[in-house]
Amino acid sequence: MDGPGVAPFIYFKPMTLEKNLTATDLKLIALFLMVLDHIRLFFSYAGLVPDWFMWLGRSSLPLFMFCLAEGFHHTRDRKRYLLRLFVAFLVMEISRLLLMSALPRPDGFAIANNIFGTMFLTASAIYCLDKLWLHRNDIGHLVLYSLSLFILAPLTFFAEGGWFWVAMGVVLYYTRGNRLAQAIDYVAFSLLVWGMADSCQWMMIFAVFPMLLYGGKKGGGYKYLFYVFYPVHIWALYVLSAVFYERSAS
C-alpha cells in the first residue's frame, strides 16, 4: 500500500497555534524568494543586484522542502509522485546541458540548479524509511529497502545542496506531527549551516515563521506551477544573463 506508513513514535500531539497559510501560499512565497535569489545568482557579474536578494532567497529551498514533506505525506499515489519528480529532474538536467552547450557564457558560468534531484532523493529516502517500518518483520523487504537507502546515500552528495538538504527534508517529514518540534529541529539545522560555513545561508532560519503559520491545508490551484515555472525561469535568466554579458563585454 502506497499511503503514509510512519512509525507511531515519531508523531506528537500538534501544538495549538492560529495558522492561516496553505501549502499553495507557501509555494508562492517560495517561488517569489527563489526568483530574487536566482536574479542575484545569474546577474552577480554586473554588480547591480543587491545582496538582500540573495539573503531573502535563502528561505526559498527550505519552504519547498517543507511543502515536499507535507505533500508526500498526503499524496494518494507515492510512486506517481516520485516518477513526476524523477521526470522533472531528467528534463531539467538535459535542458540545462543543452542550453549551456548552445549558448555558453563567456565567463564559463554553469547552470548548477536542479532542485528536482534533491526533492526526488528526499522523497525516495522517506519512501524507503516508511517501507522499512511497515515491513519491519519481513526480512525480504528489510533487505530491499535497506539496500535502496544504501544506494541513495552517496547520490545525495551530487544533488543541489548535497546531503544536508536531503537530511533536512527527512527531518521535516518525520516531525510534521508537531509544528513546535519541527521548528526547533529546523532552527537547529539553520544554526548548523552557520557553523559549517561562513556564508549567509544561515538566513534560511527566517523560513521558520511561515512554516509555523502553515494551517495544514493544501490550498487551491497551481498544482503544476512549480514544475513548469522552475525550469522556464532558469532558462530565461540564463539566456538573458548570457546576452547581457556579451553586450557588456563588447
Q: What is the pTM of this model?
A: 0.88
How many angstroms separate the Cα of 241 from the Cα of each of 48, 111, 118, 219?
A: 13, 11, 25, 34
Segment 200-241, tens digit of pLDDT: 889 999 999 999 999 988 887 677 889 999 999 999 999 999
Q: What is the pLDDT of residue 196?
A: 63
For residues 177 and 15, the answer to whether their CB atoms sit within 8 Å is no
Q: What is the pLDDT of residue 224?
A: 86
* Residues whose CB falls within 8 Å of the CB of residue 49, separated by 6 or more in sequence, listed in order: 39, 40, 43
Segment 5-44, tens digit of pLDDT: 554 444 444 444 456 899 999 999 999 999 999 999 999 9
C-alpha cell at 116: 528536482
Q: What is the pLDDT of residue 161?
A: 87
Q: Does residue 82 register a pLDDT over 90?
A: yes
C-alpha cell at 30: 517560495
Segment 104-153, tens digit of pLDDT: 998 999 999 999 999 999 999 999 999 999 998 999 999 999 999 999 99
For residues 115 and 160, the answer to whether their CB atoms sit within 8 Å is yes
Q: What is the pLDDT of residue 199?
A: 77
For residues 66 and 21, the answer to whether their CB atoms sit within 8 Å is no
How many angstroms separate the Cα of 183 from the Cα of each of 12, 38, 63, 175?
A: 13, 26, 12, 9
Q: What is the pLDDT of residue 47?
A: 87
* Residues whose CB falls within 8 Å of the CB of residue 197, separated by 6 or more in sequence, listed in order: none
Q: Which residue has the higher pLDDT, 57 or 15?
A: 57
| Residues pairing with 214 in the sheet | 21
Measured CA to CA, the distance from residue 179 to residue 59 in angstroms comes to 17
